[in-house]
């Protein structure tokens, strides 16, 4: 890795940490509860598929049914969703967004827009397009090397707290291994 690449990586890691902190601040500041992004994503899917079966939601989120049940239980406990047995098949549970869930989803979407404006508003439209293009190029490269996102990561690439992992690309950045937190300060 040449010195220029090392400096880019340092800047990128610093930016990623700041974006992570900022995202937590924006999302948590506008919500009464502590909803993780994966839960927000699930609320979006439920809103688009109101009354869907639990199994269908698990497939849409690419999650194990047991993980989906756990996530839905947490959302039901906070009254963001409700589960009802299917009238025709009592073994099937259908999931519905509550009014509180709709409000939480609206607040979450507003927080994302607010955070995006806060982060990228400093860039011109041309710079934003160029930045997006470069990120897409880097993402596609890493997906080819690492096999894409795991099913535990959501649309913003976030894992639930306690599940964080960072990719370690070895000395030559030619392969991808996952393990616990890695300290990049020595770069």
pLDDT digits (tens, 9 = 90+) for 139-165: 999 889 887 654 444 444 444 433 433
User: Which phi and psi (to 5°) does residue 48 adopt?
Assistant: -75, -20
CATH number of domain containing 37: 1.10.10.10
Q: Is residue 161 part of a domain?
A: yes
Model confidence, pTM: 0.60
Q: What is the pLDDT of residues 105-144, one digit of tens each?
A: 888 888 888 888 988 999 999 999 999 999 999 999 988 9
Residue 58: predicted pLDDT: 93
Residues near 41 by beta carbon (within 8 Å), at least 6 away in sequence: 61, 154, 155
Residues near 100 by beta carbon (within 8 Å), at least 6 away in sequence: 78, 79, 80
Domain that includes residue 145, residue range = 3-179
- C-alpha pair distances (Å), 38 with each of 3, 41, 61, 64, 185: 37, 5, 9, 14, 29
Q: Is residue 186 part of a domain?
A: no
Taking alpha carbons only, the member of 52, 39, 49 closest to residue 78 is 39
Q: Is residue 185 part of a domain?
A: no
């Amino acid at each position: 890795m040449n010195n220029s690449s090392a400096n880019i990586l340092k800047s990128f890691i610093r930016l990623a940490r700041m974006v992570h902190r900022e995202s937590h601040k924006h999302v948590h500041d506008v919500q009464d509860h502590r909803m993780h992004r994966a839960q927000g994503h699930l609320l979006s899917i439920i809103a688009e598929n109101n009354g869907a079966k639990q199994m269908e939601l698990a497939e849409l989120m690419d999650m194990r049914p047991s993980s989906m049940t756990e996530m839905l239980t947490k959302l039901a406990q906070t009254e963001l969703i409700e589960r009802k047995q299917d009238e025709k098949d009592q073994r099937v549970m259908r999931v519905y967004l509550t009014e509180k869930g709709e409000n939480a989803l609206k607040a979450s979407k507003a927080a994302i827009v607010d955070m995006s404006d806060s982060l990228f508003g400093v860039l011109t439209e041309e710079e934003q397009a160029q930045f997006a293009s470069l990120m897409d190029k880097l993402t596609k490269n890493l997906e080819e090397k690492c096999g894409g996102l795991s099913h535990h990561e959501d649309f913003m690439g976030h894992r639930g707290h306690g599940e964080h992992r960072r990719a370690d690309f070895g000395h030559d950045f030619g392969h991808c291994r996952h393990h616990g937190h890695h300290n990049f300060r020595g770069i």
